Amino acid sequence: MSVTMTEERGKTPETESAQEFTDGFHLLIDALQANDLNTIYGVPGIPITDFGRLAQAAGMRVLSFRHEQHAGNAAAIAGYLTKKPGLCLTVSAPGFLNGLTALSNATTNCFPMILMSGSSEREVVDLQQGDYEEMDQLAIAKPLCKAAFRILHAQDIGIGVARAIRAAVSGRPGGVYLDLPAKLFGQVMDAQAGAQSIVKVIDPAPAQLPGPDAVARALNVIKAAKRPLIILGKGAAYAQADELIKSFVEASGIPYLPMSMAKGLLPDDHPQSAGAARSLALKESDVVIMIGARLNWLLSHGKGKSWGEPGSKQFVQIDIEPREMDSNVEIAAPLVGDIKSVVSALMIDMGDSWPQPPSEWLNAVKEKRDTNLAKMAAKLQSNTVTPMDFHVALGALKIIMRERPETILVNEGANTLDFARSIIDVYKPRKRLDVGTWGIMGIGMGAAVAAAVETGNPVLAVEGDSAFGFSGMEIETICRYNLPVCIVVFNNNGIYRGTDVNPTGGDDVAPTVFVKNARYDMMMMAFGGHGVTANTRDELTTAVNEALDSGKPTLINAVIDENAGTESGRIGNLNPQSVVSKNKS
Ligand code: ADP
Ligand code: MG
């Protein structure tokens, strides 16, 4: 993109040779488009308002949010779903900081994204002379993301964007910060030199092959296993090696446990799924093959009571990040490389000679799973439980997800998250988006927007009433872009439960309690979306099916018994409780 200066000044090309110019705005657009990055999630304002306009004019999709954190969460999920860095665009200082939460969360979750923030003038910031929204954003971003860069000159935009892309998607993916001082956008340079400065990144996430010795070592451990278990993490889902992973699991005959976002990589009703026998599988297994999953808090760090006797296990771990190995416990057979290359190597070396796991082990897992599933099924049926409890409401949604496996499930909350994770089956890869590695609240609407925009599939967002509040204003965004998103708010009048009381008898309600019987559905109606209150399982089923059939933005206020939840869902053990105050009361 360029303009002819002579034409602008009204001179004819004959009187002066025409030199074409471009500027920082257009170079940034060209650099992104050259790399097939065509969607921006952001919030406009100084100094990036015009950039957003020009990007839209150039054919990019520019989606405006109401708060940067949700634009950032959308960019992160776009990165997770597409393996290309999701783009988030923000203003300086406060907008940047709002986006930084999402950038940091993306990095923690290994999602590739680029946060591009406008910033104040270097000269003024560095002398701390009090510029408009003055802040040394690069320094602040650096420890909170995978890489951070600042571009000062228009001729460096091509290289700057290339570095950001490579940093985001190569090796372990993560968040990258790109600092764009206001002055950069207006810098003018020769159009031809500008075009030459654009870099199209070749092979941004190169394959990383495991060494043959590492493959042989791992296969020896696997072959000797008596009670093997595979754990699939969201790294495996991210890798988009779906068929390969399925063949590996099926050829090996080994029971597998999906981490929450890896659900659906193989359908949750797969005969080898140990999802409903999780405790037994973790405790009793002797060899655990981790594929794109980390032994962090979500897996009790690979040790302690839930993992059985100390020393009873050997771990094989497939991960692209060498330093992940031995992060919590000793890894007997590290397989460093990208999942596709590593799993291919295991398959090739094993050929047709996979030993099948002993039948005692397979039967033990199967028996436990079937018993647990039967126990759960009994709780999911009733239409007469009103107000609904979590099981009844989620039982309805479970059936809908089975009937509509293309639907992308977004899920956050405490009880709403923990119960939904075990109750709602997922049948296809990357169809479940949730609170991820940090277990944070507030990802809901950003994830829902990105899921709809990037895939075109219908989205079902199952939200605790508290969790929904963090990003609730983005329902306007969902209505504005008319996205096929159905939000179900599990309204139990508060955080965990709606029943806490103020022990002093004062006027303030307890800190965990919200306005009783709130009508979240009416919020949606304010923006032209469809709003419904559902009091029974049948009402909920009808409303969700109608929403998914219509593709219209819908919010269903699902009335849940305010007594039904438990403190912090299933992670109550992480919430310290005072012994002293208990003794007093
Ligand atoms: P979960 O929470 O589902 O267990 P984590 O986010 O903890 O998953 O772990 C994902 C792991 O996957 C990270 O350690 C990351 O380095 C790894 N990873 C991501 N992409 C790839 C890939 N393409 N190949 C190999 N490992 C990957
Ligand atoms: Mg609640």
The CB of 125 under 6 Å from ligand 1? The reply is no
* Edge-first strand listing for the sheet containing 175-181: 61-64, 39-42, 86-90, 113-119, 175-181, 147-150
Tens-place pLDDT, residues 300-323: 999 999 999 999 999 999 999 999
The residue contributing the CA closest to ligand 1 atom 21 is 235
Overall average pLDDT of the 240-264 stretch: 98
Q: What is the pLDDT of residues 190-216, one digit of tens each?
A: 999 999 999 999 999 999 999 999 999
Which helix (H) or strand (E) element contains residue 3? strand 3-4
Whether ligand 1 lies within 6 angstroms of the CB of 432 is answered as: no
pLDDT at residue 16 in the model: 56
User: How many CB atoms sit inside 10 A of residue 111's CB?
Assistant: 29
Same fold, 212-367 and 381-559: yes
Long-range residue pairs from 365-374, CB within 8 A, at least 24 positions apart, any chain: 365/255, 365/274, 365/277, 365/280, 365/281, 366/271, 366/277, 368/276, 368/277, 368/280, 369/273, 369/274, 369/275, 369/276, 369/277, 372/276, 372/277, 373/276
Q: Which of 105, 170, 172 to mutate to test the pocket of ligand 1 (most atoms within 8 A of CB)?
A: 172
Contact 150, 181 (CB under 8 A): yes
How buried is residue 144: exposed, middle or buried, by Cβ count under 10 Å (0-12/13-18/19+)?
A: middle
Report CA(517)–ligand 1 centroid distance (Å): 41
Give backbone dihedrals phi and psi of 82, rounded to 5 degrees, phi first. -115, -10
Query: Is there a contact between 388 and 537 (Cβ–Cβ < 8 Å)?
Result: yes
- Look at residue 1 in the predicted model and tell me its pLDDT: 53
Separation of alpha carbons 271 and 482, rounded Å: 39
CA distance 243 to 338: 15
Question: For residue 512, what are the CA distances in angstroms to 499, 515, 562, 566?
Answer: 9, 10, 12, 12
Ligand 1: residue of 109, 110, 231, 430 to mutate (most ligand atoms within 8 A of CB) is: 110
Tell me which ligand sits closest to the C-alpha of residue 564. 2
Report pLDDT digits (tens) over 42-74.
999 999 999 999 999 999 999 999 999 999 999
User: In testing the pocket of ligand 1, which one of 109, 208, 234, 257 has its CB within 8 Å of the most ligand atoms?
Assistant: 234
Q: Residue with the nearest Cα to atom 18 of ligand 1?
A: 235
Residue 585 has pLDDT above 50, yes or no: no
Amino acid at 412: E
CB 483 within 8 A of CB 489: no
- Stated as kind and residue range, the H or E segment containing 54 is helix 49-57
Average pLDDT estimate for 77-92: 98
CA of 167 to the centre of ligand 1 (A): 16
Ligand nearest to the CA of 567: 2
How close is the Cα of 208 to the center of ligand 2, in Å?
44
- Which pLDDT belongs to residue 566? 83
Ligand nearest to the CA of 468: 2
Q: Which of 300, 324, 339 to mutate to test the pocket of ligand 1 (most atoms within 8 A of CB)?
A: 339
Q: Are 219 and 346 in contact (CB under 8 A)?
A: yes
Q: Indicate whether residue 112 lines ligand 1 (CB < 6 A).
A: no
Span 168-181, pLDDT tens digits = 999 999 999 999 99
Q: How many residues does the chain have?
A: 585
Mean pLDDT of 354-363: 96
CATH class given for the domain over 381-559: alpha beta
Task: Report the distance separating Cα 493 and Cα 467, nearest Å.
Answer: 12
Q: Whose CA is nearest to atom 6 of ligand 1?
A: 109
Euclidean distance between CA atoms 379 and 422, whole angstroms: 13
CA 493 to ligand 2 centroid distance, Å: 6
Predicted TM-score (pTM) of this structure: 0.95
Q: What percent of the chain has pLDDT over 90?
A: 90
Domain residue spans in the chain? 3-197, 212-367, 381-559
pLDDT tens track for 368-424: 999 999 999 988 877 777 899 999 999 999 999 999 999 999 999 999 999 999 999
Cβ 431 under 6 angstroms from ligand 1: no
Rounded mean pLDDT of 86-94? 98
pLDDT at 583: 46
Q: In whole angstroms, what is the distance from residue 286 CA to residue 296 CA? A: 19
**β-pairing, 333-336 with 554-559?**
unpaired
Query: Which residue minimizes the CA distance to atom 20 of ligand 1?
Result: 235
Fold of the CATH domain 212-367: Rossmann fold (3.40.50)
Ligand approaching nearest to the C-alpha of 516? 2
pLDDT > 50? residue 584: no
Which ligand 1 atom is nearest residue 109's CA?
A: 6
Architecture of domain 3-197: 3-Layer(aba) Sandwich (3.40)
pLDDT of residue 3: 53
Give the DSSP letter of residue 9.
Answer: T
CA–CA gap between residue 286 and residue 314 (Å, rounded): 6
- 130 or 576: which carries more pLDDT confidence? 130
Q: Which atom of ligand 1 is nearest to the CA of 208?
A: 24
